[in-house]
Chain A
Amino acid sequence: MITIDWANFTPWSSLAGGALIGLAASLLVICNGRIAGISGVIGSLLDGVREGRGERALFVLGVLLAPLLWGLVTLLPRIEFQTGWLGLLVAGLLVGIGTRYGSGCTSGHGVCGLSRLSARSLVATLAFMASGFATVHVIRHLLGA
């Protein structure tokens, strides 16, 4: 039985934000022939891949500067953390190593991969969604943290 959290449901802004993400991914593939996958882009920068380094760095810079541009126009949306330092540390490590072994994250597999109808990306997306749901279930409802 699923209870919808109507108070926090934001269909229009989420749909519009998603459309912008899709637009950014489309721009990058149509004009530059590249996948807008954040973990892949950062991983290649870390590994010192020379080909396309400038483009990758500028893409990441754009994402980094987005909240500053937003802040010039209006108040930033709420950013609320529910995890302590140890949880953040472990989460970051798992996300870093997992996305590199799995060749992608929510953007590379979830947006770009599904948009190009990749079976690998569908499997990856189902896997990280399933373990994401399971992890929150264990933490909130079995451990009660």
Chain B
Amino acid sequence: MRKLIAFFAGLIFGIGLLLAGMANPAKVLGFLDLAGAWDPSLALVMGGAIAVALLPFAWARRQSRSLLGAPMQLPQKRELDRRLILGSLVFGIGWGIAGICPGPGVAILLTGHWQAMLFVAAMLAGMLLFTALERQRNH
């Protein structure tokens, strides 16, 4: 049942990205370009998502188990450390170069655009690089 939910959540998530305009890198760059002709649409994507998710997450935070009996796995970290901030700044630079973040990258991967395949391949390489560096650090 949980696997079925996960699949449908992914499907709804992907449809949402396509409908919202997030899957169009040109539109994302139009949102990130404050000094040009600014397209504020994507602020509404985040606004709409949070408006819907606020109450469910407020409920989830007070539970130890999900509705289907799985442990509630919410992040426990609280520190505002250098890794969080530097990592997010680096992510934003990449986002600003191409107008693609991880979700939309996956959502447009099978639409036949070589650009999406190249971006996602590089993104996976970046993630593997992170893992390799972490392993080395903890050695």
Within 8 A of B (CB), among A1-18: 2-5, 8-11, 13-18
Interface pair B97/A90, CB less than 8 Å apart: yes
Instruction: Report the bound CA distance from A18 to B49 in whole Å.
Output: 4
Interface pair B87/A100, CB less than 8 Å apart: yes
> How many Å from the CB of B51 to the closest CB on chain A?
7
Interface of B is mostly: helix
Interface pair A78/B24, CB less than 8 Å apart: yes
Instruction: Report the bound CA distance from A55 to B82 in whole Å.
Output: 31
Interface pair A10/B21, CB less than 8 Å apart: yes
Residues of A within 8 A of B70 (CB): 31-34
Interface pair B60/A29, CB less than 8 Å apart: yes
Instruction: Report the bound CA distance from A64 to B29 in whole Å.
Output: 22
Given contacts A4-B37, A78-B24, contact A95 B48 (CB under 8 A): no
Instruction: Report the bound CA distance from A69 to B84 in whole Å.
Output: 36
Interface of A is mostly: helix
5 A-B pairs besides A106-B102, A127-B85, A136-B32 with CB distance below 8 A are A30-B67, A62-B13, A83-B99, A83-B115, A88-B122
Partner of A128, one of B7, B53, B88: B88
Partner of A92, one of B11, B46, B78, B120: B120
Interface pair A43/B88, CB less than 8 Å apart: no
Instruction: Report the bound CA distance from A112 to B98 in whole Å.
Output: 23
Interface pair A46/B124, CB less than 8 Å apart: yes
Interface pair B16/A21, CB less than 8 Å apart: yes
Residues of A within 8 A of B89 (CB): 98, 102, 127-128, 130-131
Q: Which of B9, B26, B41, B90 has the most CB of A within 10 A?
A: B9
